[in-house]
Chains A and B, each alone.
Chain A
Amino acid sequence: MDKTVIKIKDITKIYKLGDIEVPALCGVTFKVKKGEVISIMGPSGSGKSTLMNIIGCLDRLTSGEYILDNEDVSNLDDDQLAQIRNQKVGFVFQNFNLLSRSTALANVELPLRYAGITENRIEMAQKALESVGLGDRIHHKPPELSGGQQQRVAIARALINNPAIILADEPTGNLDSRSGDEIMELLLGLNKDYGTTLIIVTHDPKIAARTARTIQIFDGLIKESKS
């Protein structure tokens, strides 16, 4: 079994704005091994978001090859991509992106429903919430939780399908420094305890400093540095 989780080879992404072609990624190549923690940094407009969307299978690449967890996802249709996202990617967003009308439990359970799982969903969701330290908040709705707690719910949701990677986009961006620290501890702890592959997109050098490897991106090209 190949230990490489992400194999990105020479990918480009070109947006078309009318007749003008705007290149966002101009030939990016890198690999991520199973159990690694990496950060992706770059100023706005550098192609950071584009790269993140492609890693998360939210967007398609223009050319190149992307193999995620031994599966070529370069040329899949919308529904196939949806299934890949459901099975292999756990998203953690800056603004949590929870369904505010649903309880923490229902939020965490949602990916299981889209996966077509019918049994033990509640138990699984409950376990995931316990693992992020929210076992006593499962019936609360997001507005009744603090920012840090909401982000924990989001992490539990990202974990529920046992994904190959967790993709966190500025996971501490909307949090005060204390809750931010706690969230980082939690994410890094998951990596330590379960070997979860972690990709953190951030502009904060302090966050990047806590990851073993950092990918810098400028003008659609990457430059690696190890810390």
Chain B
Amino acid sequence: MNFLQTVNEAWNSLYSNKMRSILTTLGIVIGVAAVIAMIAIGTGAQDTILNQISGIGTNLLFIFEGNEEDSSITVSPLTMQDANAIGDVFAAPHVELVAPVIQGSGTIKFSGETKSTQIFGVTPSFQAVRNYELIEGEFISEENVNGRASVVLIGVDVAEQLFGQSENLVGETVTIDGQPFRIIGILAPKGGGQFGSQDNVVLVPITTARSRLMTREQGKVDIIYLKAISADSVPEATSEVQEILRKRHRTDLGEDDFTIYSQQDFLTLASSITNVFKIFLSGIAGISLLVGGIGIMNIMLVSVTERTKEIGLRKAIGAKKKDILIQFLTESSLLSMMGGILGIILGWIISALVGSFATTQGVAFQPQVDLGAILLATVFSTAVGLFFGIYPANKAANLEPVEALRHE
């Protein structure tokens, strides 16, 4: 039989039961829309996170204390002396800059307005290592660090909250955890990041942070940021730092009591996490597609029972098993394919809505509807229709013509 005619006949049959066909299709529409939207959102989230990590700088290294693979070892903390040792050009020629940091959180106030914020105790090299730019003022200087000066650089979020503006604030005095600090500069906006907003921060000299804001053992630091001289020299820089720290922590025989991450490690970690996230989301969406398929099977079974007499007649005038099988399979795949197409459109709309919502929230996040997902959804939804159509169609094809004709 002619293919177009078969499709046309299937369409007529579905059209004559409009409401039922629409409701059946809805199951597939929702399933496919969910798959499309989830993959798009997952891909968008992945892109955003990976871009932000790349944005940190490809030659950045982080040193934390402790060993994440073995928590039983005794850990001697990272110290300022460690940072100075790593900064030695002769011992670590591939390390360009070292920025020891202690970090915590606190409340910053200005005439009644308050904001909870992250506090970083830093040295002058922090600016270059983390690529901070200033709207106005100056960064923390060596003198500030040596003199434990009560000076602070504030992020734009903090400035907006406290002053309602982010300019002409140098020289104002704010209080952090009850202690007065003079503003010496405003940090330029960096946007959201995977570790929270990078604009809701304040930077103070590391010495001031230790003596006034956070309790730390003498000389201890939380993280040491490093900048390798280039992206290619990250492995050399890593091994130089390992050697220095093993020597200093006397761990050359045992396990390391520190961990070095490169930006590459974060990228790998983040992309494997987001991949799991993506598979998880599309798995859930896939379940709804399966439920939609069962809906199709259900309706096709009802349809076969209803049309038993028609099937009997078709067989009486010469329809073979194959003809009946094709007729019903065409109907079920047409149902699911239309559901698939509508689902793709709906999924696309949902992704776009999520994207524009994220934009209004100031998150740079764009869901990615890619061709692969669309192809997958089309093929998969049609396959669902075929698969769940097989049982009812087979039932129809195997009806005895005499029995079927007698059916009322």
Check if A and B associate: yes
Q: How far is the CA of A118 from the CA of B321 in the complex (A)?
A: 20
Instruction: Given A53-B402, A58-B405, A59-B402, decide whether A101 and B318 contact each other with a Cβ distance below 8 A.
Output: no
Q: Does B360 contact A (CB under 8 A)?
A: no
A53: chain B residues at CB < 8 Å are 402
Instruction: Establish whether residues A102 and B12, one from each chain, have CB atoms under 8 Å apart when the complex forms.
Output: yes
Instruction: Establish whether residues A97 and B405, one from each chain, have CB atoms under 8 Å apart when the complex forms.
Output: yes
Q: Does B314 contact A (CB under 8 A)?
A: yes
Q: Which of A82, A93, A99 contacts B315 (CB 8 A)?
A: A82
A99 to chain B, nearest CB (A): 6
A82: chain B residues at CB < 8 Å are 315, 318-321
Query: Across the two chains, which residue of chain A brings its CB closest to B307?
Result: A99
Instruction: Bin chain B's interface residue count.
Output: 20 to 34
Instruction: Given A58-B405, A101-B13, decide whether A113 and B2 contact each other with a Cβ distance below 8 A.
Output: yes
A142: chain B residues at CB < 8 Å are none
B314: chain A residues at CB < 8 Å are 110, 114
Q: Which of B12, B318, B401, B405 contacts A114 (CB 8 A)?
A: B318
Query: Across the two chains, which residue of chain B brings its CB closest to A59?
Result: B402
Q: Does A115 contact B (CB under 8 A)?
A: yes
Query: Across the two chains, which residue of chain B brings its CB closest to A53?
Result: B402
Q: How far is the CA of A124 from the CA of B109 in the complex (A)?
A: 93
Q: Does B323 contact A (CB under 8 A)?
A: yes
Q: How far is the CA of A204 from the CA of B400 in the complex (A)?
A: 28
Query: Across the two chains, which residue of chain A brings its CB closest to B406?
Result: A49
B9: chain A residues at CB < 8 Å are 102
A116 to chain B, nearest CB (A): 8
Chain A 70-100 against B: per-residue CB contact (8 Å), 1 yes, 0 no?
0000000011001101110001010001010
Instruction: Establish whether residues A58 and B401, one from each chain, have CB atoms under 8 Å apart when the complex forms.
Output: yes
Q: Does A157 contact B (CB under 8 A)?
A: yes
Instruction: Establish whether residues B318 and A111, one from each chain, have CB atoms under 8 Å apart when the complex forms.
Output: yes
Q: Does B310 contact A (CB under 8 A)?
A: yes
Q: How far is the CA of A53 from the CA of B313 in the complex (A)?
A: 13
Instruction: Establish whether residues B320 and A83, one from each chain, have CB atoms under 8 Å apart when the complex forms.
Output: yes
Instruction: Establish whether residues B401 and A87, one from each chain, have CB atoms under 8 Å apart when the complex forms.
Output: no
B319: chain A residues at CB < 8 Å are 82, 114
Instruction: Establish whether residues B321 and A58, one from each chain, have CB atoms under 8 Å apart when the complex forms.
Output: no
Instruction: Establish whether residues B317 and A91, one from each chain, have CB atoms under 8 Å apart when the complex forms.
Output: yes
Q: Does A56 contact B (CB under 8 A)?
A: yes
Q: How far is the CA of A58 from the CA of B12 in the complex (A)?
A: 28
Q: Which of A86, A93, A99, A102 contacts B318 (CB 8 A)?
A: A86
B397 to chain A, nearest CB (A): 9
Instruction: Establish whether residues A99 and B310, one from each chain, have CB atoms under 8 Å apart when the complex forms.
Output: yes
B111 to chain A, nearest CB (A): 79
A120 to chain B, nearest CB (A): 13
Q: How far is the CA of A115 from the CA of B323 in the complex (A)?
A: 11
Instruction: Establish whether residues B321 and A111, one from each chain, have CB atoms under 8 Å apart when the complex forms.
Output: no
Instruction: Establish whether residues A114 and B321, one from each chain, have CB atoms under 8 Å apart when the complex forms.
Output: no
Instruction: Establish whether residues A56 and B320, one from each chain, have CB atoms under 8 Å apart when the complex forms.
Output: no
Q: How far is the CA of A58 from the CA of B403 in the complex (A)?
A: 10
Instruction: Establish whether residues B316 and A58, one from each chain, have CB atoms under 8 Å apart when the complex forms.
Output: yes
Query: Across the two chains, which residue of chain A brings its CB closest to B12?
Result: A101
Query: Across the two chains, which residue of chain A brings its CB closest to B316?
Result: A91
A93: chain B residues at CB < 8 Å are 313, 405
Q: How far is the CA of A102 from the CA of B16 in the complex (A)?
A: 11
Instruction: Establish whether residues B2 and A56, one from each chain, have CB atoms under 8 Å apart when the complex forms.
Output: no
Chain B 308-330 against A: per-residue CB contact (8 Å), 1 yes, 0 no?
01100111111111110000000
Q: Which of B318, B400, B405 contacts A115 (CB 8 A)?
A: B318
B270 to chain A, nearest CB (A): 57
Instruction: Establish whether residues B310 and A58, one from each chain, have CB atoms under 8 Å apart when the complex forms.
Output: no
Q: Which of B16, B309, B320 contacts A97 (CB 8 A)?
A: B309
Instruction: Establish whether residues B323 and A114, one from each chain, have CB atoms under 8 Å apart when the complex forms.
Output: yes
B394 to chain A, nearest CB (A): 13
Q: Does B371 contact A (CB under 8 A)?
A: no
Instruction: Establish whether residues A78 and B321, one from each chain, have CB atoms under 8 Å apart when the complex forms.
Output: yes
A91: chain B residues at CB < 8 Å are 316-317
Q: How far is the CA of A143 from the CA of B239 in the complex (A)?
A: 87
Query: Across the two chains, which residue of chain B brings its CB closest to A78?
Result: B321
When A and B form their complex, which 8 residue pairs have the shortest distance between CB atoms, in order from nearest?
A: A86-B318, A114-B318, A97-B313, A79-B320, A111-B317, A82-B320, A58-B401, A58-B402
Pairs A–B under 8 Å by Cβ, sample size 9: A56-B316, A59-B402, A79-B320, A79-B322, A85-B318, A91-B317, A110-B314, A114-B320, A157-B317
Chain B interface (Cβ within 8 Å of chain A)? 1-2, 5, 9, 12-13, 16, 309-310, 313-323, 400-402, 405
Contacts A91-B317, A97-B316, A114-B323 given; 15 further ones with Cβ under 8 A?
A: A53-B402, A59-B400, A78-B320, A79-B321, A85-B315, A86-B317, A93-B313, A93-B405, A99-B310, A99-B313, A101-B13, A102-B12, A110-B317, A114-B314, A114-B320
